[in-house]
Amino acid sequence: MRYLPGVLLAFFLIVSSGRAEDVLHFKDGKVVRCEIIAITDNVLTYKTTINIGGGRTASAQPTISPDAVDFIEFGPLPGEQALLAQGEAASLDAIKTLWEEKSRHLHRPRSNAGNIGLLYGDRLLAEPESFQWDFALSVFDRLLERDWNPENQKAAKTGRLRALIQLGRLDQATAEARELAKSSEDPEMLIEARHALALADFEILKALEEENPKWKEDDIVRPERERLYHEVIDQFLWPFLFHGTEETLAARGLVAAAEVHLFAGLEAEARACLTDVLTLYPQSPAITEAQAMLAGIEKANPTVPDNDDGNEATPQN
């Protein structure tokens, strides 16, 4: 006999135990609180309580056309809100179970299925096995095909690019990112496209140096290496330099640029980028990573405190 993992079993039992109240918003303005029994693109059956007069009520289970409904507020599954509150720290199996339950509602207005799909895709990309990244790509593609929410579709485009890059499909990722940069007038999408291009070029840069360990002495390889390095830095810093009010994206770019500087052995430049994050964007999600990277630099290169005579601190041997 096979046993389900504890977290997944608990979530499965919760899902199976019922759901919160659903709310139907009809096109004629009527609002009905109910429990949806079945729903397809052609038929909607729900259970509700109706007033039959004399202070009495009865249970009813009508079947209608979904075309009569403007939108549905789907009640959260028991345990759903607590699971989503955990974000990417939640169990992958539990998120998968929730996604499989909710994804059939992707195209229905006001459904949160797309948010769950984005979380699931990000969680898959955080896994070490590349087959999980293939699953992530399929999730993002499904969001692009079916999600009712344009904002989720935008996020799915960038998720798809990240998945392609992690899978090593750099030419495809680069081509799609360039096309996105050309076709979109949305500043956020332009930033995401440039970020994806930088990620792909950074992978190319790392591969080039690995294949050419003596690139500094190679008159043919060195110019290409320098071009890639500067182009990657420019792309990562673009939101900071030109869209500084996009705090989350600007801070993310600064941290990414710091990583490239560290790869190149330029610790002072990396330190400057990370210090900018701490100073300018202390509330951004990138702050924790910036602090950790800066602490790593300090640990690798401890300095003696300034002397009383005003001389600058010097690195310890």
Report the CATH number at residue 34. Answer: 2.30.30.100
CA 278-282-283 angle, to 5 degrees, is 155
| pLDDT, tens only, 25-70 | 999 999 999 999 999 999 999 999 888 888 888 999 999 999 999 9
| pLDDT, tens only, 147-193 | 999 999 999 999 999 999 999 999 999 999 999 988 888 889 999 99
Q: Which amino acid is at 275?
A: T
pLDDT exceeds 90 at position 17: no
**CATH number of the domain where residue 224 is located:** 1.25.40
- Whether residue 46 is found in the same domain as residue 83: no
Residue 252 in any domain: the answer is: yes
Residue 194 in any domain: the answer is: yes
Among 117, 148, 167, residue at a domain's last position: 167
Rounded CA-CA distance 198/194 in Å is 6
Asked whether the whole model's pTM tops 0.85, one would answer no
Quote the number of domains for the chain.
3
Q: Which domain holds residue 41?
A: 21-75
Span between the terminal Cα atoms of the chain, in Å: 61
Per-residue DSSP letter, 128: S
Joined together, the tokens standing for residue 241 give 């330099």
- Whether residue 116 is found in the same domain as residue 129: yes
- Whether residue 272 is found in the same domain as residue 187: yes
How many other C-beta atoms are found inside a 10 Å radius of the C-beta of residue 28? 7
Cβ(150)–Cβ(165) below 8 Å = no
